[in-house]
Amino acid sequence: MNKEINNIVYFVSSSLNLGGAEIQSVELANELSEKGFEVRFYSLKYDNILRNYISKNVNLREFKIYSTKTKEKPTLGTVYWWLKAISQLRNEIKQDYKSNQNISVISFMYHSWVTGFFATLFFKDVKNIIAVRSSKIASRGKNTKFLRFFVYIFVANLSDFVVFNSHFSFKKLGKYIIRNKRVYINNLLVKSKSSYNPDINEKIFSRKSKFNIVSVGRLDKLKNYPQSIKAISLLIQEKIDVKLFIFGIGEEYLELKNLAEDLGIDKNIVFMDRVEEPFLYFEHFDLLLQTSKHESFPNSIVEALYKDLYVVSTDVGDVQILLESNRGHMLEGDNSKIIAETLKKALFDRKSKTTKGKEFIDNYLNNIETVNEWEKLILL
């Protein structure tokens, strides 16, 4: 690309925590900066473990719009800081707009969509792109479910493009979007940027059993961890020596910890807290378990397959594509009995040791093609 053309890309992300959407937004920002784009990254939450992963070529701005305490509800202060962030982003865009720059704004996740939309409103030729990273417009409360879905349809159809990262979400959520605005672009394959931590390695190694299962993801209701823990309890009742290691943090931690204690299996459920790049430690485990109620294109499954780790998962998002050809077991339900029976079958199935997952992921995810698709979209 001709670097004399000043193409400016603003990224807006709800946070820089270790979520799949956040990781993808940082990776894409870094890749575009390498291709000569002037990239500015706005995070709406100031806490932010991924800060150190952002390239030095990317201009990072962080706002304290809402607290890192996951259960804290929006307040007038929250609204004030949100409006202030929109105003500041809008002012920066205005300066670039006056100098006739080629400007695009890419927003990841709900709060970011709204921020990007209002920041670009009434700026002719400023491209507003929203990235959908879920198969459902999720909400923490029933009262806001309809509102969030309405906002999605409103913002998405008034944006220039809506980018989906899975075939499933493209079909399910894309049907509400004007046809020529919706685009499918694969995820990037994220390579390791941190080093092996011997303390984490020792924590895993010292607690290992005959069979060791890993789950990765934030501790919230959508991940359905209670059924996973109950499934482990059922396996232990059958005298199977098994442990479940959970990488993640979130509002459900105490509830899940208490559940394990009530079932008398607290020694078999190991909470690993927040760990950068859990896939570095996948070699310790026999399989990855995912029991999410909703997903689009699960990064944890991609990472497991890339490490040739067998997967047991609910049928969500593009999981069917990822697990075909004996790369994993699909759960026929999400209750503890079904999960336990499927885990038992997978753990004792020798075929689970040869997934050819890495070969599949190398062929399925092509970072060069993915970045090129984003570049074409930005330059249209």
**What count of residues does the chain have?**
380
Reference 267, options 243, 247, 287, 249; nearest CA is 243
How many CB atoms lie under 10 A from the CB of residue 268? 21
Question: DSSP assignment of 156-214, as one string?
Answer: HHHSSEEEESSHHHHHHTGGGS-GGGEEE-PPP-PPP-S---HHHHHHHHTT--SEEEE
pLDDT of residue 81: 79
pLDDT of residue 68: 45
Query: What's the rounded Cα separation, in Å, for the pair 295 and 317?
Result: 5
pLDDT of residue 69: 47
pLDDT in tens, the chain (380 residues): 444 558 999 999 988 887 888 999 999 999 999 999 999 999 988 766 788 889 999 999 887 665 444 444 556 667 787 888 899 999 999 988 888 778 999 999 888 999 999 999 989 889 999 999 888 876 555 667 788 888 899 999 999 999 999 999 999 999 999 999 999 999 999 877 777 788 898 889 899 999 999 999 989 898 999 999 999 999 999 999 999 999 998 889 999 999 999 999 999 999 998 888 899 999 999 999 999 998 899 999 999 999 999 999 999 999 999 998 888 999 998 899 999 999 999 998 755 556 689 999 999 999 999 999 999 999 98
pLDDT of residue 302: 95
Domains and CATH numbers, the chain: 7-188+366-379 (3.40.50.2000), 198-363 (3.40.50.2000)
pLDDT of residue 124: 87
Question: Which residues, including other chains, have CB under 8 Å from residue 304's CB and lie 6 or more apart?
Answer: 214, 279, 282, 288, 310, 311, 357
pLDDT of residue 83: 87
pLDDT of residue 240: 96
Reference 40, options 50, 53, 26; nearest CA is 26
Question: Which residues, including other chains, have CB under 8 Å from residue 318's CB and lie 6 or more apart?
Answer: 166, 167, 168, 296, 297
Query: What's the rounded Cα separation, in Å, for the pair 53 and 232?
Result: 35
What is the 8-class DSSP label of residue 325?
T
Question: DSSP assignment of 266-286, as one string?
Answer: TTTEEE--S-S-GGGGGGG-S
pLDDT of residue 147: 80
Exposure b/e, 301-325, CB count within 10 A at least 16 = b: bbbbbbbbbbbbbbebbbbeebbee
Reference 60, options 48, 34, 42; nearest CA is 42
